[in-house]
């Protein structure tokens, strides 16, 4: 349900592959995502793309798993932490809507691109759960505190166009051009040394 592929240029693409369930995440999938990110880092990946199969990036936690405790699992924070710490250019390529806890891994990426039909929402207020600790901070850093409240407290579903204007995503691409757009954004990092990519990423992180 999680696939990892490396192109001839060295671009690592990690895909959520449970399209019949809108890529809803289980504990095993979160563990596999963490392992894939860590394996890419260990292998010296300079660019990493997170995407999904089907028409939805991820509906968030699998409902049965959420009821069994996944909604408050530390795995979410471990995943977003691994992505944020990766010494590579990380790109979320949203093939569709990113909802709930799945938004955490998206926010942890350096860049976010999305298809025009994608939406972003995080219904923790309605569901009665707190978001993972780093998610509100990253959300507010990108879009501002009021817009973070629009998503986390007012429960608003944000369209791709609105997310672009807010700074939540960086580019919109048609579905057939999504992978190509991600690869183009990764090209300079793929042509650089691992230490150079990591060094620039650290400088950007220090400026936040």
Between CA 196 and CA 1 the distance in angstroms is 33
pLDDT of residue 128: 86
Residue 93: DSSP 8-state: E
96 pLDDT higher than 90: yes
Q: What pLDDT digit, counting tens, does each position of 34-74 carry? A: 999 999 999 999 999 999 999 999 999 998 888 888 988 99
Share of the chain above pLDDT 70, in %: 99
Which structural domain range is residue 200 located in?
A: 2-206
Cβ-based neighbour number of residue 8 at 10 Å: 5
CATH number at residue 44: 3.90.226.10
Q: Is 200 exposed, middle or buried (0-12, 13-18, 19+ CB in 10 A)?
A: middle
pLDDT of residue 66: 82
Q: What pLDDT digit, counting tens, does each position of 105-149 carry? A: 999 999 999 999 999 999 999 988 889 999 999 999 999 999 999
pLDDT of residue 207: 67
Between CA 1 and CA 204 the distance in angstroms is 33
Number of domains, the chain: 1
The closest alpha carbon to 190, from 11, 1, 6, belongs to 11
Contacts of 8 (CB under 8 A, 6+ apart): none
Over residues 156-173, mean pLDDT = 98
Between CA 89 and CA 108 the distance in angstroms is 11
Contacts of 86 (CB under 8 A, 6+ apart): 37, 40, 41, 45, 48
32 pLDDT higher than 80: yes
């Amino acid at each position: 349900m999680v696939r990892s592929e490396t192109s001839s240029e060295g671009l690592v693409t990690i895909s959520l592959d449970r399209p019949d369930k809108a890529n809803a995440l289980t504990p095993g999938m979160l563990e596999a995502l963490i392992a894939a990110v860590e394996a890419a880092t260990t292998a010296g990946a300079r660019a990493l793309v997170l995407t999904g199969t089907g028409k939805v990036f991820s509906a968030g936690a699998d409902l049965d798993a959420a009821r069994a405790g996944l909604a408050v699992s530390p795995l979410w924070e471990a995943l977003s932490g691994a992505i944020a710490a990766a010494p590579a250019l990380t790109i979320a390529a949203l093939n569709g809507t990113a909802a709930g806890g799945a938004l955490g891994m998206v926010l942890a990426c350096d860049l976010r691109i999305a298809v025009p039909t994608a939406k972003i929402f995080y219904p923790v207020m309605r569901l009665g759960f707190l978001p993972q600790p780093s998610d509100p901070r990253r959300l507010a850093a990108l879009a501002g505190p009021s817009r973070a409240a629009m998503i986390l407290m007012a429960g608003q579903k944000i369209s791709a166009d609105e997310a672009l204007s807010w700074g939540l995503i960086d580019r919109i691409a048609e579905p057939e051009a999504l992978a190509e757009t991600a690869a183009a954004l990764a090209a300079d990092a793929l042509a650089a040394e691992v230490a150079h990519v990591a060094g620039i990423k650290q400088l950007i992180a220090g400026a936040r």
